[in-house]
Amino acid sequence: MSRIRGTATAPEELLRKALWAAGFRYNRDTRIGRIRPDVVLPKHHIAIFLDGCFWHGCPEHYVRPRSGGGFWARKLVENVERDIAQTARLEAEGWRVLRFWEHAVFTELAGVVDVVSAATSQPADAEPDWRVWKVEAVDGELAITNGRSQPELRS
Ligand SMILES: [Zn+2]
């Protein structure tokens, strides 16, 4: 018996559909300068990023690879540094930046939409929802301890 399989839907597509259903309108082309958020709500000046659990160090799903640890740790730090820099730049240009772990789109989509909804009614200078709290390598060779400030590298 054959199974009817749904087409694999990318998390950003799932989020766009849910936001559209909730009445939000997004831009098809999501570029803001050289930065490419996953969803842009131009009317509310909101840029949304879905951070991949592995590539961006989700505290629930990031598992350090058994080999090539140094490479992966550096890659992770680079990614998180880029997340921080992009967020800061967009905020400086007057965008509100929302970041969610990719898994949240699959496990709590309604909650993600609620956060976006809430952001549209918050003043523009409200504290943004910054999701990269802490990244730590297992052996402590690299650590990022505070997403709001510069990443801290320990040796
Ligand atoms: Zn995750």
Residues 72-94: pLDDT tens digits? 888 888 988 999 999 999 999 99
Look at residue 28 in the predicted model and tell me its pLDDT. 81
Q: How many other β-carbons are positioned within 10 Å of the β-carbon of residue 9? A: 13
* SS3 of residue 51 by DSSP: strand
What's the gap in Å between 100 CA and the centre of ligand 1? 9
Q: What is the pTM of this model?
A: 0.74
- Higher-confidence residue of 88 and 123: namely 88
What's the gap in Å between 67 CA and the centre of ligand 1? 21
What's the gap in Å between 52 CA and the centre of ligand 1? 7
- Has residue 130 got a pLDDT over 80? no
What's the gap in Å between 152 CA and the centre of ligand 1? 22
- Has residue 138 got a pLDDT over 80? no
pLDDT tens for 47-57 read 999 998 888 88
- Higher-confidence residue of 81 and 134: namely 81
What's the gap in Å between 137 CA and the centre of ligand 1? 16
What's the gap in Å between 143 CA and the centre of ligand 1? 18
Q: What whole-number percentage of the chain has pLDDT above 90?
A: 46
Cα separation of 8 and 28, whole Å? 20
